[in-house]
Amino acid sequence: MKSSATIISLSLMAAVLAGCTEEAGGDNAAAESGSCESADVRLVGQVRNESNPYEASWLAGGDAFAQSVGLKQERLTYDGDSTKQQEQISQILAGDTKCLVMNVLPNGDSDTAPIVKGADSAGAYLVTQWNKPADLKPADHKTWLSHITYNGVESGQQIGDALATAIGGSGGIIALQGVLDTAAAKDRFAGLEASLAKNTGVKLLDQQAANFSRAEALTVTKTLLTKHGDNVKGIWAANDDMALGALEALQQAGKAGKVAVVGIDAVPDAVGAVQKGDMTATVSSDGTWQGGIGLAIGYCVATGKLKAADIAADNRAFFAKQFLVTKDNAAGFATPKTNPADFECANVFNRVAGPLT
């Protein structure tokens, strides 16, 4: 009795397993040929959460692209929780993956490998952004089409230079760093150091970590303002949230308008502050474009308009163009919107600023 039950369950299992492999094999074949009907493509955008303007604009950009091809984007958020992100990916990959396109923001470098592995074996088209380990390369994979990121050294330097100009080329500044063990914080600060080497009149009085947080930046800036007093002519912040916290601190210390502030990310409040002249500059990666472009690249390959094998090696992992936002051009960034031309299959790699090495 017992043994027969075992046999039955074993054979059932074998049948199920066989079915699985067969299905997976079929998917792979479809993936390589890229012969999906436009209407069959399934678009998935995954970010950490919708509680910050940047990632909200990312999903909005994905929606805009999906709408332009008559589809709907599935919006996934994982609350900055790596385990949750992997679960969501496995769930998506367990469904129909024949014409699946995913535009994913991995939580951290180490989260990228399992996502790539899953997408590869399921034959799903994948574009990742921001985080990946250096030795993991899209060019070594069939359906991992591209990895997009931004040169933090460049943006850190851009705002450093803008700050130096704003304070007239000489004077003391303070720097607010992000979470110290992240690549973004390290790169952006390296950019500031490069800018300081160039602008010899500018002196870095102090640098403190405020962990990309508006509240921490407020406290730290107030402390630094009491420490260095009127010597502080400018504040360099590794992101806009901290820059906005610094602005509040200046206001509370009665120094609003007397100290130049720069940040990175171009969150709406910061762009507004740049427009009003409260902030000197910020840098935009164009979140709406990021949300759309990953889906667009995947869509073009899935529908056969672009062949994965034809994508230039430099376009498989690249730094995308970023924009310095100053008072002159801030109005254009105040209402971020996507440009449909950016997402046409011939133009999807137009914003490549350089290969990621």
Partner 1 sequence: MTLTSAVATAPRRQSRRGASFRDAGPPVALVVIFGIFAALSPQFRSVDNVQNIVDAAAVLAVVTSGITFVLMMGSIDLSAAGVMGASALTVSLLVANNRNDNDYGLLGIGAAVLLGCAFGCLSGLALVLLKVPSFMATLGVSAIGLGVATLMFAGVQPNITDTMLESWAIERFLGFSYLAWIAAACILVGWLIQRYTRLGRYAFAIGGAEEVLTLSGVRVKPYKVAVFTLAGAFYGLGGVMVTSQLGAGLVQAGDGYDFSAITAAVVGGTLLTGGRGGILHSAVGVLLVMVLTNGLVQVGVSPYWQGGVEGLIVVAAVAAAVIPQRRRNQVVK
C-beta closer to partner 1: residue 253 or 345: 253
Cβ at position 56, least distance to partner 1 in Å:
4
Q: What is the DSSP letter of 278?
A: S
Rounded to a whole number of angstroms, the minimum distance from the CB of residue 227 to partner 1 is 5
Check residue 177 for interaction with partner 1 (CB under 8 A): yes
Strands 323-325 and 282-284: antiparallel
Query: Nearest distance from residue 29's CB to partner 1, in Å?
Result: 40
Cβ atoms within 10 Å, residue 352: 17
Distance of alpha carbon 147 from alpha carbon 116, whole angstroms: 11
Contacting range for partner 1; rule: CB under 8 A; set: 66-74, 92-100, 200-208, 314-322 = 200-208
CB of 77 to partner 1, least distance (A): 9
Query: What residues contact residue 194 under an 8 Å CB cut-off, 6+ apart?
Result: 153, 156, 157, 160
Nearest distance in Å: CB 2, partner 1: 40
CB 212 within 8 A of CB 245: no
CB of residue 88 vs partner 1: minimum separation in angstroms?
17
For partner 1, give the closer residue by CB, 40 or 206. 206
- Contact between 51 and partner 1 (CB under 8 A)? yes
Residue 56 is a binding residue for partner 1 (CB under 8 A):
yes
By beta-carbon proximity to partner 1, the closer residue of 270 and 325 is 270
Residue ranges of alpha helices (H) inside the chain are 2-33, 53-68, 82-94, 109-122, 152-166, 183-198, 214-228, 240-252, 268-276, 287-302, 313-316, 330-334
- Non-local (6+) Cβ contacts of 242 within 8 A are 176, 178, 210, 212, 213, 214, 216, 217, 263
Stretch that binds partner 1, among 46-54, 88-96, 97-105, 127-135 (CB under 8 A): 46-54
166 makes contact with partner 1 (CB under 8 A) = no
Query: What tokens appear for 203 in the block?
Result: 């002196």
User: For residues 313 and 290, what is the distance between their CA atoms, to the nearest angstrom?
Assistant: 20
Residue pointed to by tokens 């074949």: 29
Q: Smallest distance, Å, CB 45 to partner 1?
A: 14
Least gap, CB of 186 to partner 1 (angstroms): 11
58 versus 318: smaller Cβ distance to partner 1:
58
Residue type, 201: G
CB of 219 to partner 1, least distance (A): 5
Alpha carbon of residue 61 to chain centroid: 13
> What minimum distance in Å lies between the beta carbon of 149 and partner 1?
24
CB atoms within 10 A of CB 198: 12
Q: Which of residues 297-326 bind partner 1 (CB under 8 A)?
A: none
In the region spanning residues 269 to 288, those forming contacts with partner 1, defined by CB under 8 A, are 269
Residues 173, 297: Cα–Cα separation, whole Å: 42
Q: Restricting to residues 207-266, which ones interact with partner 1 according to CB under 8 A? A: 207-209, 213-215, 218-220, 222-224, 226-227, 244-245, 248, 251-252
Specify the stretch interacting with partner 1 by CB under 8 A; choose among 9-17, 47-55, 297-305, 328-336. Answer: 47-55
Tokens standing for residue 79:
């609350």
CA 186 distance to own-chain centroid:
16
Tell me if 32 contacts partner 1 by CB under 8 A: no
Site for partner 1 in 178-197 (CB under 8 A): 180
Q: Which residue has the tokens 């070594």?
A: 140
Q: State which of positions 86-125 bind partner 1 (CB under 8 A).
A: none
Contacting residue, 49, 67, 91, 200, with partner 1 by CB under 8 A: 49
Nearest to 143 by CA among 129, 128, 130, 124: 124
**Residues found near partner 1 in the complex (CB under 8 A):** 49-53, 56-57, 60, 177, 180, 206-209, 213-215, 218-220, 222-224, 226-227, 244-245, 248, 251-252, 267-269
